[in-house]
Amino acid sequence: MYSKKVLKYFFHPKNVGIIKNPTVKVTEGSLACGDMVTLYLKIDKVSRKIVDIKFKSYGCAANIATMSFLTELVKGKTIESVEKLTYKMLEKELGGLPPAKTHCSLLAIKSLKSAIRLYKEKMGEIEYESIDKDFVMSRLRSVIHPAIGKDIVSSGLVAMANISDGKVNIKIRIKEKRFRRIVLEEIKERFCIPQIKKISVEFVDKDEKAKDKD
Amino acid sequence: MKKRFIYLDNASVTKVDSRVLRAMNIYHTKYYSVPTVEYGHSFGLKSRKALEQAREAIAESINANKDEIIFTSGQTESNNLAIKGFVAMNNTARVITTKIEHESILNVCKDYGNVAYLDVDREGFIKFNSLKRLQEEGAILSIQHANHEIGTVQNIKRIGRFCRKAGITFHVDATQTFMKLDIDVERMNIDLLTISPHLIHGPRGIGALYIRKGVKIKAILSGGYNEFGIRPGLENIPAIVGFRKAVEIFDKKDVSRMFKLRDRLMKNLLEIDNTKLNGPLGKDRLCNNVNISFRYVEGESMLLHLDLRGIIVTTGSSCFSTALKPSHVILGIGGRHEDAHSSVRFSLSKYNDVEDIDYTIKNVNEVVSELRKISM
């Protein structure tokens, strides 16, 4: 059974919604896994505090409760002070989670950590050895196809990817409009770093005939 | 206002009818002897008589002979006995089944290995062509009469006729349909039939396997010579008496009532945006089964919200399964993972009424829009 605190945060979730023009936005998990969360953060450049945070979630009770609790916990704090949070701390604070639900607290922490990392990348605080095709592919490996539940690289959906002079060109094999939209947003988020100046994504049907261009 | 309690998980287990309970009680406290042989002590003969009368009544309900009924502990054991007991006698026999059966068939098949799977369509009906393709003399075919999750009722008569001609032993798991639909083992050419009273307001922990005379089944448990040597162990007389009582008090009128309630619930819930019915419409769907996927809503979240409002349902979401696996039935009919995670099964019983259904419709609407606010 879920703890009282988990149920409270599940039935009356805090910080649900979206932030228009967020400093960073990140999506983790997938519809196929039955757990997908999107986190929106507004971070103040000077104080480095999370001034606003909101989430959207498609998931079970533990998923909604951990996201709801996490956002409440980190709001108003500096990114440095919340970086050290672990899923165990989150679970402890919530009065425990059933063992089968550990992936929910992991997902919550993962979404926060990737949001912070994205922020640092955006600010140019992270140094890269080289921005090449391998870099592009590694970025694409963290973009999950929502219906398959696996990343677009290992699902064989990347038809082409290259980079020159900070310009990234990607061709993705996805047919369904609604998944194209989600994947496109995800890709754009993942390449929000100063070293990349332009990104163009083209979607093709499975048979590789170009249809839409974004 | 008194908090409502609406139980809509009747495809899992049902409330025991008080008449069943009364009939059982006497055999717990008054006639509690082991059933003796017919020349045994008088106390044991009371139990023997109850056992044989129950066997007769249950046999009659499916047009079988009384010595073709073997009492077991329920669906899982009956299914295990049917398949394992059959292949123990014919160890090269192929087992033919589908990927949307109950776990007690699927896992037995997995262990056995020599298995062929029939194709099913998007509504869960067996594709007859695949049966023609996979047929093999001496094989055993095992399918459910109606699917436990999506309520698809197979054309047993047609499949039975085919099996008889092809020399295939035909096992039907009728757990979901027993008494609700007419079952005639002669007319339908059924050789082995799993039945249980726990979904018709009888006790749980008891079931039966019908074994057509001449079909060889080996015991899968070792022990004494009970149930014609096919199922050892002390006969569970109180439960067997309850089984019989549940059959006797079954009222066909409840079936037509459930049909009406089912259609009312189904029609109204499908009016919600982005919903999808799993399984067929009409009379080829079990009278008490509604299974709908609510896109952008995860099943466990839905289940807990409905629970808070006094409505008990179940879901095909992996988040709710102990194995953390999405419903194999939804995936088996070609559904996406997402369809499984967002599927909710509502299963009715004779105890539900129109108010229950309308209350459920209203609350499902509210919960779906509440959860979609979080997910969309």
- Quick check: B301 and A59 CB within 8 A? yes
Please say if B109 is a catalytic residue.
Answer: no
Please classify residue A20 by burial: count the beta carbons closer than 10 Å to its beta carbon, then call 0-12 exposed, 13-18 middle and 19+ buried. Answer: exposed
Range of the domain at A76: 4-122
Which residues belong to CATH 3.40.640.10 in chain B? 18-248
Which residues belong to CATH 3.90.1150.10 in chain B? 6-14+251-375
pLDDT of amino acid A214: 46
3-class secondary-structure state, position B126:
strand
- Quick check: A61 and B318 CB within 8 A? no
Residue A16 forms contact with B (CB below 8 Å): yes
Answer whether residue A86 is part of any domain: yes
* Chain B residue with the nearest C-alpha to that of A101: B319
pLDDT of amino acid B318: 78
The reply to whether A80 and A141 lie within a common domain is: no
Answer whether residue A127 is part of any domain: no
The reply to whether A37 and A56 lie within a common domain is: yes
> Last residue of a domain, which of A90, A122, A154?
A122
- pLDDT one-digit tens code per residue, B119-170: 999 999 999 999 999 999 999 999 999 999 999 999 999 999 999 999 999 9
Q: Indicate the residue of B308, B373, B375 with minimum beta-carbon distance to A11.
A: B308
- Please give the C-alpha separations between residue B288 and each of B118, B257, B266, B357, in angstroms, as whole numbers: 26, 9, 11, 12
Residue A34 forms contact with B (CB below 8 Å): yes
The reply to whether A25 and A90 lie within a common domain is: yes
The reply to whether A117 and A162 lie within a common domain is: no
Inter-chain contacts counted by CB atoms under 8 A, chains A and B: 65
Domain spanning B6-14+251-375: which superfamily? Aspartate Aminotransferase, domain 1 (3.90.1150.10)
> A53: domain CATH number?
3.90.1010.10
Question: CA of B314, closest CA in chain A: separation in Å?
Answer: 13
- pLDDT one-digit tens code per residue, A164-199: 888 999 999 999 888 898 889 888 888 888 888 889
From the list A16, A32, A33, A61, the catalytic residue is A33
Residue A14 forms contact with B (CB below 8 Å): no
Answer whether residue A153 is part of any domain: yes
pLDDT of amino acid A105: 93
Residue A64 forms contact with B (CB below 8 Å): yes
Q: What is the mean pLDDT of residues A103-124?
A: 92
Q: How confident is the model at residue B39 (pLDDT cuts 50, 70, 90)?
A: confident
3-class secondary-structure state, position A52:
strand
From the list B109, B163, B287, B319, the catalytic residue is B319
Interhelix angle for B299-308 vs A4-11, to 10°? 100
When divided into structural domains, chain A yields a total of 2
Taking the alpha carbons at both ends of chain B, their separation in whole angstroms is: 33
- Angle at the Cα of B204 (from B85 to B302), degrees rounded to 5? 110
- The CATH number of the structural domain formed by B18-248 is 3.40.640.10
Question: CA of A167, closest CA in chain B: separation in Å?
Answer: 32
The reply to whether A13 and A85 lie within a common domain is: yes
Question: CA of A38, closest CA in chain B: separation in Å?
Answer: 9
What was the ipTM of the complex prediction? 0.85
Question: CA of A135, closest CA in chain B: separation in Å?
Answer: 31
Lowest mean pLDDT among A164-173, B214-223, B253-262, B357-366: A164-173
The reply to whether A169 and A88 lie within a common domain is: no
